[in-house]
Structure 1
Amino acid sequence: MTEQGFPVVEIDTSRPHPARMYDYYLGGRDNYEVDRDAAQKVIDLFPDIVPMAQGNRRFMHRAVRFLAQSGVRQFIDIGTGIPAPPNTHQVAQQVAPDARIAYVDNDPIVATYAGAHLLGSGNTGFFLGDLRDPESILGHPTISELIDFDQPVGLMLVAILHFISDDEDPAGLVAAYRDALPAGSHLILSHTTGDFHQLDGDAGEARDVYETKGATATLHLRSYEQVLAFFDGFELVDPGLVQPPLWRPDGPVPTHQELAHNGFYGGVGVKR
């Protein structure tokens, strides 16, 4: 399943783009020199950004696999970002070939990559939508075609809520999606935090690169308690809300030193 008619977007290579910078951190190739320059500036100031991004991505893979193994057969992935294989459908369909995935992002630039990497594989769809407009997303025709709200849904909010300010009521937004989900649905969520490193000095300068280089992204780092509040109405599955590498690792447990500057939380909750 695909959606046609995406707006034709002239890709601006004069300014770095957060999604393409993130792609660079993941080792992807869907980025330009301006993105690599800005991303490398961040890396030089704050080298932890690379393992943080990669650890967050691997957390997503494990969480999606867990849901598919638990019987979830449909996913709504909001804030898809530039595709970086393996993507949600590739992980889920490896476990359950009939899994259905609706990808959503508010950035037309992401749409330019969706056709090549997310669509045409069967049981997948992509559309442009904004997390801050739950009614529009939940009522979109692609959701209607792919998602059966009488059956459990995997809602994915991976590394997206930290772009939502407190004034935009991120907890209220999560609640709006939660209330549309049936019992047995799951929330996969990750979020940046300042709990594990200082926000001044090099880390603060690295964050400022996103604004000073024109990447138009503001990060709202939140504490453990603030991130935990997003799971209101969900029961956290073991091991709870933790740094992403600690969420059901499929290899050696990371050392304290490896975790010391991992500025993310990740968790999975189930709606009872």
Structure 2
Amino acid sequence: MNEYAVPAPHPASAHPARVYNVWLGGKDHYPVDQEAAELAAKANPTIVPSVRANRAFLGRAVRHLAASGVRQFLDIGTGIPAAENTHEVAQRAAPEARVVYVDNDPIVLSHARALLVSDPKGRTDYVQADARDVDAILHEASRTLDLTRPVGLMLVAILQYIQDAEDPWDITHRLLDRLAPGSHLVLSHPAADVTAPEVAESMRIYNERAASHASATPRTQDEVRRFLDGLEILEPGVVTLTRWRPGPSDVLDDTLPMWCAVARKV
């Protein structure tokens, strides 16, 4: 059994994928997830608009990578399928794109069919694994992706669930080390230094109700920038969600407490 495997969902504990599903307006969650999501959002009213802005950032980043010639994506911390999943955005721009999704929640696996609907010219796959298990992820992903060619590594709102003691920076760099030059890291992360009191309180409420493996830690802009060490950070740098290459109709909102960035491996 994988040492990082998560037991079957238990209604006594909230889980990130299911809490996120509540914030996105989905129906695939338990009462404990609903409670955690609602109480956290009450403590920090920016959570729901942040989740939606985070989804929009993912779409803009994937479209940029596809326009830059990236045709492979490794999306870790997939969550329960929603609108505009990575493969939908990527294959709309480049039908031949290949996407591998990774998550450790069995409820996500139960929805994998929705993630595996690929354009006939492309391909999608799903791996049940924990973000900490770098070797397993890359071994399984290599069945679908050619790791000798550039990959878009998607770590979107996932690294907060890996504690400092587990060294999420090392995990990120071990993933990148095995990817080809020209690969990109797409990253977003809850901020500890934007609307800090509200973020701290909402995280406390969530962590009290979450399983021990799924507690969350917000980080500062400098701590988030460490994930990009050794990479070429694309403009506009490490910014709040709506500041990353917004479209003409996008509304800027610097109160949303999440940092994001896209960076290239040279």
- Cα offset, 1:269, TM superposition: 0.5
Q: Which amino acid aligns with 1:204?
A: A
- Cα offset, 1:254, TM superposition: 3.7
1:124 has 2:120 as partner: no
Contact 2:8 2:106 in 1 (8 A): no
Give distance in 2, aligned partners of 1:250 and 1:28. 26
Q: Which amino acid aligns with 1:245?
A: T
Structure 1 162/203 Cα, relative in aligned 2: closer, same or farther at 3 Å?
closer
- SS of match in other structure, 1:103: strand
- Which residue of structure 1 aligns with residue 262 of structure 2? 268
Q: Which amino acid aligns with 1:23?
A: N
Contact 1:18 1:215 in 2 (8 A): no
- Which residue of structure 2 aligns with residue 4 of structure 1? none
Contact 1:246 1:254 in 2 (8 A): no
Contact 1:16 1:214 in 2 (8 A): yes
- Per-residue CA distance 1:68-89 (angstroms, 9 max, x = gap): 1111000000111111121000
- Which residue of structure 1 aligns with residue 135 of structure 2? 135
Paired residue total? 257
- Cα offset, 1:214, TM superposition: 4.1
Contact 2:203 2:217 in 1 (8 A): no
Moved more, 79-88 or 32-41: 32-41
- Cα offset, 1:60, TM superposition: 0.6
- Per-residue CA distance 1:149-197 (angstroms, 9 max, x = gap): 2211111111111111111111111111111111111110111111111
Contact 1:41 1:209 in 2 (8 A): yes
- Give me the TM-score of the superposition, normalised by structure 1: 0.88
- Cα offset, 1:118, TM superposition: 0.3
Give distance in 2, aligned partners of 1:214 and 1:190. 21
- Give me the TM-score of the superposition, normalised by structure 2: 0.90
1:97 has 2:95 as partner: yes
Structure 1 179/16 Cα, relative in aligned 2: closer, same or farther at 3 Å?
closer
- Which residue of structure 2 aligns with residue 247 of structure 1? 244
Contact 1:23 1:30 in 2 (8 A): yes
Give distance in 2, aligned partners of 1:127 and 1:105. 7
Give distance in 1, aligned partners of 2:210 and 2:184. 35
Give distance in 1, aligned partners of 2:86 and 2:63. 9
Unaligned runs of 5+ in 1: 1-6
- SS of match in other structure, 1:137: helix
Structure 1 130/16 Cα, relative in aligned 2: closer, same or farther at 3 Å?
closer
1:213 has 2:204 as partner: no
Give distance in 2, aligned partners of 1:66 and 1:84. 20
Q: Which amino acid aligns with 2:127?
A: F
Give distance in 2, aligned partners of 1:16 and 1:119. 26
Give distance in 1, aligned partners of 2:13 and 2:175. 33
1:1-272 alignment runs, 5 A limit: 11-115=9-113, 117-121=114-118, 123-140=123-140, 143-199=141-197, 202-216=198-212, 217-252=214-249, 254-255=251-252, 258-260=253-255, 262-272=256-266
- Per-residue CA distance 1:35-88 (angstroms, 9 max, x = gap): 223211222221111111111111011101110111100000011111112100
Unaligned runs of 5+ in 2: none
